[in-house]
Every structure is written in C-alpha cells, then in structure tokens.
A = this chain, B = another copy of it.
Amino acid sequence: MGRWEPNARGRLARAALVLSAEHGYESTTVAEIAAAAGVTERTFYRHFTDKADALFPDHDVLLERLADVARQAADDGASVLDAALAAIGDLATMAAAEPERAALSARVVPTVPALAGRELVRQRAIADAVSGALTERGVRAREARLAAETALGVWRVAVAEWVDAPDGRTLPEVVAAAAEAVRAL
C-alpha cells in the first residue's frame, strides 16, 4: 500500500477520504481534494482517473501482494482455506498500518452506492487473485474459488464488526477471531 503521507499521491488519497467523510462524497469536488492536499487539479489527474479512484489507491500492488501471501502459505503446507485466510490476514495487517484510513474508508464507502459497488468489485478482484494463486499451486479451481470466497466473507464480517463495535481490538485481531469462527462452522 505504501505510506499514506507525505507524498502527493498519499495526501490526495487521504484528502479524498477525509473530505468525503466530513462533507459527503457527492458534494466533495476534485478541486477541493487537490486544494486540501496542497496540489493542483492537474496533479490530481496525474495520479487518479476520477474521485472514486482516489478512494481505492494501490489496487494492483495490493493484488500481487495478496497472491504472494497465498502462494507462500500453500508452499508452507497450509490447507487451502488457511492459505486464503493468510492472504486476508495480510490485508488486515496492511489496513491496520493506516488505521485512520481504514476506519474512514469503512465508514464512507458503504454509504455511497457507487463506492459500495466499486468496493465489491475490488473484493472480486482480490478473490480472483487469491484463487488464481492457489490454482497455480495445484489446487482445483472449485476449491480455490470457494476458499477465496470464504476468506473474503471473513473479511467483510470482520470489518463490519470492527467498525460497528470498536472495543479496542485491532482489525487483525477481529479478522483472526472471525477466521477461527469460520473454521468452526
């Protein structure tokens, strides 16, 4: 994911999220985001194609990293489900490195249909990356997809639980607890 600060790209992503949380996504303009990040609109468009794009930065890097984690876990002898859950655990670790961003994003995204749709598409891409990595390691397509889908379900349940009931637990802790619960289902 890279550092959120102090580079222009990171500042723009942060400004897009903070302004959307404060004033609403629809009424926040690219001009306002650029101004808050201390750059020009032109600089904004060098980094992002549109406003929504700024709320979902670093997508490809993320997918590659999660695939790596799943492959590594499979190589280390993890079960198919545990390898997929390892990738989701890593996703939680990355999110926890920027807890303000994770919390704002989890609050803003579900309230805006366009962003909610995009977040779900992002989750599809993560499921594809993780199941693709597992099939590379010889897992059958159906099992790889089911494991990736189940792990993404753990992610959604854990994020919602973490946002709704902030009881001091970190996101990785909540994800680990949800992963344990899904194994027990």
Q: Spell out A's residues near B (CB within 8 Å).
A: 79-81, 113-114, 116-118, 120-121, 124, 141-143, 145-147, 149-150, 152-154, 156-157, 160-161, 177-178, 181-182, 185
Contact = CB atoms under 8 A, between A and B. Distances in A.
A153 B149 CA distance: 5
B147 A185 contact: yes
Nearest to A114: B117
A158 to B, nearest CB: 9
Copies assembled? 2
A87 to B, nearest CB: 15
A185 B81 contact: yes
B185 A142 contact: no
Given A145-B156, A145-B160, 15 more contacts: A117-B120, A117-B121, A120-B124, A142-B177, A142-B181, A143-B185, A146-B185, A149-B154, A149-B157, A150-B150, A150-B153, A150-B182, A150-B185, A152-B153, A153-B153
A145 B117 contact: no
Contacts of A182: 146, 150
